[in-house]
Chain A
Amino acid sequence: MRLAVLGGKPIRKKPYPRWPIHDHTEEAALDRVYRTPTLDESSRFAEWYANYCGVPYVLPTASGTVSIELILRALGIGRGDEVILPPYTFIASYAAIRFIGAVPVFADILPDSYNIDPADVERKITPHTRAILAVSVGGRPADCDALGAIAEKHNIALIHDAAQAVGATWRGVSIAAYGTAAAFSCQNSKNLTCGEGGIITTTDAVLHETLRVIVSGGDDTHIGVRAGINGYCAGILNAQSARFPEQLRYRQESAAYLDAHLAPLGYVSPMPGDPRVTSNAYHLYFIRIHEDKLRGVTRDRFVEAVVAEGIPLTTGYRPLYATPGVNEPHNTPVTDYVAGHEGAWLAPPTLLGTPDDLADVVRAIEKVYDNLDALREV
C-alpha cells in the first residue's frame, strides 16, 4: 500500500474522539453559576479533589502555570534563588520560575521515562538551590522516592509540576500528596478540564494558609495574587469530576493495548513500565521512535508519514533552551537526543478512542515502516 504522505490512501480519515466531553451536567453547572455568580463551586470541587487524591489541602486556581508561581511565592522563593527543572517540558514550568525572578537550572531527563533524572538533579544543586520542580511528563510521575530523598537531604522544596498528571499515583499514593506541593492544570486539553484552570495540593497546613492569604489578596508581608478559579470553571470541574475516574481507567486500558502491540515491533517502542508507577495518568501516550532502525529515515520524517495516515502523532517537545529568551546554560544530552531524534506522542484524546481507533495507530506505524525505502527515496 502506498503511503499517504506519498499520495496513497491514508489508513483513516475519521477524526479521533472530540474533546472535551460534556453533557447536561455541565449545562446545569453553568446555569447554577449564571443564576448565582457568587456561588462557591470552588470549595465544592476542592473537597472532591481532596478526597479523590487523599490530600488534606486543595486550592483551585486560574491555571496550572499560576499554580506553580503561587507555590514558589508562598515558599518565599525569589530573586537569585535557583530552581531545578527538566528542559523536556512545556514552557509554563520555566516561565513560572522566571516570573518570580528566580533562576531556572536545567537537569537532564531519564531515557526510559522522559522525567527528570535524580542523579543529574543532585549534580546541579548549589548553595542557592531552593527547590526542585519535578515534571510528571505526559502524566507519568517523576521518581518520587529519589527526588524526595534529595530534597530532604539538601533541605530544599520538592514541587511536583503535575500539570498533566491528574489521577497519577506512585506506590499507590496520589502525586498530589508527594513533596512540598503539587500543581495541576485543568486547561482545555487536560484529562480533567474546565477550559482554563489549575489546582494546588499540599499536605502542609502552613503552606496552604500562606497560599490562601496570597490568593485572597495578600497581607502585610505577602503580596496578593488574586488567582482563584473562575466560578464557571469550578462548576465545570464539578461536572467533569464525576466521569473522570472512568475516563482514566479507559485511557489506561487503551495504553495497555498500545503497549502490547507496539513493544514487539522493535523499531518503535512504548515507554518501559515501572512497578512504582501505580497509575499513569496518560495525558500523553509516548512512543519512542528508534531512528537507528529506520534505515536512514529520520524520526521527523517517520512521524510526518504516520500523521499523513490520519494518526494524531507529534514529535513532542522542543527543549526549553531552544525557546527564544531562554538563555540558561545546559548540559543535557538525553534531552537533546529525545527531543531531536526519539520522542513522539499521541494527542491526548486518542486514548479515548475505540479499539478500532487504537488498532489504526498500530496499522499506520506498521504501514510506514513497511514502506521505509519509498519514504527515504523521496
Chain B
Amino acid sequence: MNKALKETLNHAWGTIGPRSVDGGTLIAQRLGVSHALLTYSVQAALEAVLRGLDVEGFEVILPAYCDRILADTVLMAGATPVFADIDYRTGCLSPMSAERYITARTRAVLCEALGQPDLTALAYAAGRERLVLYARDALPKTEECAAAVYGIGCGANHIGIAAVDDTAMFDRIYAAHNCGRPYTSGASESVVNTRIGGNLRVSEFPCAVLSETLAALDRDAAACEKLLSNEWPCPRMRAVHLPTAGTLLLRCDGIRCETCREALVKRGYAVERPYTALHRLPVFGGHSDEEFENTVRAETGYFRIRI
C-alpha cells in the first residue's frame, strides 16, 4: 500500500490535517507566493477566492470562451457574470475587450490560462487587485494577479488550489472555505467564526499523494511541451503555448478550415472541441445579441488533443 496514504490513515485524516497544510506550503513555495490553500475541487478554490473578493451582488468579468466552471462559480458566489471576448491568438481573455466591460460594479476579472494570457495588459486594464488567473492541469506563475486558482490531478487525486500573496485576502479565502473560521484558528470547534463561510475543505487523502500528482503533472506537461514544435498536418495549425498535463490545445489560423480536425484524427489523435461559447447559454443570462468575434471563431478553430 502507498506509504503516505497508510500514514495518513493511521495518524491524521481529520479536518485540515497536516497533509493539506503541508501541501499548501509545498504549492506556495513552488509558485513563489505567500499562501496556497487546497480545496476539494478547482471550483471550490474559485468559489473561495470569489467569496474572498466579496463579489456577492457585484459583477465579474470573464471570457465567453472558457471552462464553464468559471461562469457557474460566479453565479454560485452571488455575482453577475459579464462576458468579454478572447484574444484568438492566446485563447485567453482579451484585455481590450475586458476593459470595455469594466464598471464601478466590477469586483473581479477572471482569466483562464488556455494559452499564455497577456496578464500585464489585463492587470493594467482591470487592476491587479481584481485579476484572478484560472488554470487546469498546469501551474503557471501569476505575479500580476491578486489570486490564482488551479485544478490538478484527476479522479480521486483531484485537488483545487487557491494561491495568493496578500495575507488579509488569504484570511478571507480561508474563512470562506472553513465555515467562517480564520486562517489562524485551525479547525477547533471552540473557535469564534469571523465571517460566513462554507465547507470547501479538501480531504487529507488526495493531499497525501500530492507529490506524486505534481510529478505526474510535470511529466505530462514535459511531454506536451515536446509537441509544441511539432509539425502539424495542416499548415495553418498552431499549438497554443501552455504545457498542460495530458492535453495540448491547438488552433487553426485559417478561415472556415475544414481540414484540421480530420487531419488530426487521421494521425490518431483523440480530438475534442474544448468549449462552446458561454454567453449564449440561458443559465448565464443568454446574451446572444453580443457578438464576440474571436469567441465564435474559437468554437470551430480550437482543438484539444489528448496526449
- Name the A residues within 8 Å of B9 (CB-CB): 22, 26-27, 30
- Whether B244 is near chain A, meaning CB under 8 Å from some CB there, is no
Q: Which of B39-47, B141-149, B265-273, B287-295 participates in binding chain A?
A: B39-47
What is the 8 Å Cβ interface bit string for chain B, positions 242-269, against chain A (1 contact, 0 not)?
A: 0000000000000000000000000000
> Which of B94-102, B112-120, B155-163, B222-230 lies on the face that meets chain A?
B155-163
* Interchain nearest-CB distance for A29 vs B (Å): 9
Question: B41 — nearest CB in chain A belongs to which residue?
Answer: A226
Contact of B283 among A195, A221, A326 (CB under 8 A): A221
Q: Are B203's CB and A233's CB within 8 A?
A: yes
Could you mark each residue 221-256 of chain A with 1 if its beta carbon is under 8 Å from any beta carbon of chain B, else 0?
111111100111101100000000000000000000
Interface string of A60-74 (1 = CB under 8 A from B): 001111100100000
Write the nearest CB–CB distance from B73 to chain A, whole angstroms.
Answer: 9
Tell whether A30 pairs with B203 under 8 Å between CB atoms, given A22-B9, A91-B179. Answer: no
Chain B residues whose CB sits within 8 angstroms of the CB of A236 once the complex forms: 13, 205
Instruction: Choose among B40, B156, B195 the residue that contacts A33 (Cβ–Cβ < 8 A).
Output: B156
Smallest Cβ-Cβ distance to B56: which chain A residue: A101
Centre residue among B5, B71, B158, B205 by max chain A CB count within 10 A? B205
Kindly report which residue of chain B lies nearest to residue A37, judged by CB atoms. Answer: B155
Is there an interface contact between B203 and A232, defined as CB atoms closer than 8 Å?
Answer: yes
Q: Are B2 and A66 in contact (CB under 8 A)?
A: no
In the bound complex, do residue B1 and residue A27 qualify as a contact, i.e. CB atoms below 8 Å apart? yes
Query: With an 8 A cutoff between CB atoms, is B206 at the interface?
Result: yes
Shortest distance in angstroms between A240's beta carbon and chain B's nearest beta carbon?
11
Contact B75 A223 (CB under 8 A): yes
Q: How many residues of B contact A (CB 8 A)?
A: 48
How many A-B pairs have beta carbons closer than 8 Å: the answer is: 155
From B2, B40, B195, B204, A62 is in contact (CB under 8 Å) with B40
Q: Is B26 positioned at the interface, with any CB of A under 8 Å from its CB? A: no
Smallest CB gap from A347: residue in B: B189
Instruction: Say whether A188 faces chain B, with CB atoms less than 8 Å apart.
Output: yes
Contact of A279 with B by CB under 8 A: no
A34 interface contact, C-beta 8 A:
yes
- Interface stretch of the complex, out of A49-57, A121-129, A212-220, A267-275: A212-220
Cβ–Cβ contact B69 & A226, under 8 A: yes
Q: Is B78 an interface residue (CB 8 A)?
A: yes
- Quote the shortest CB–CB distance from A13 to chain B (angstroms): 21
Give the size category of A's interface with B.
35 or more
Q: Are B199 and A92 in contact (CB under 8 A)?
A: yes
- B168 interface residue (CB < 8 Å to A): no
Chain A contacts for B13, CB-based, 8 A: 20, 188, 195, 236
Mark out the residues of chain B between 178 and 220 whose CB falls within 8 Å of any chain A CB in the assembled complex. Answer: 179-180, 189-190, 192-206, 209
CB distance from A330 to the nearest CB of B (A): 16
CA gap between A331 and B197 in the complex, in Å: 24
Residue B281 at the chain A interface, CB threshold 8 Å = yes
* Residue A4 lies at the interface, judged by CB distance under 8 Å to chain B: no
Q: Judging by beta carbons under 8 Å apart, are A96 and B198 in contact?
A: yes
In the complex, what residues of A have CB within 8 A of residue B105's CB?
A: none
Q: Does B121 contact A (CB under 8 A)?
A: no
- Docked-complex contact A98 and B196, CB < 8 angstroms: yes
Say if the beta carbon of A291 comes within 8 Å of chain B. no
A145 within 8 A of B: no
Chain B residues packing against A (C-beta within 8 Å): 1-2, 5-6, 9, 13-15, 40-41, 43-44, 56, 68-69, 71-72, 75-76, 78, 154-158, 179-180, 189-190, 192-206, 209, 281-283
Can you list 8 A-B pairs with a CB-CB distance of less than 8 A? A34-B1, A66-B198, A187-B199, A196-B203, A218-B72, A224-B68, A236-B13, A324-B192
Q: A residues near B, CB below 8 A?
A: 20, 22, 26-27, 30-31, 33-34, 37-39, 62-66, 69, 79, 90-92, 94-96, 98-99, 101, 187-189, 194-197, 217-227, 230-233, 235-236, 314, 323-326
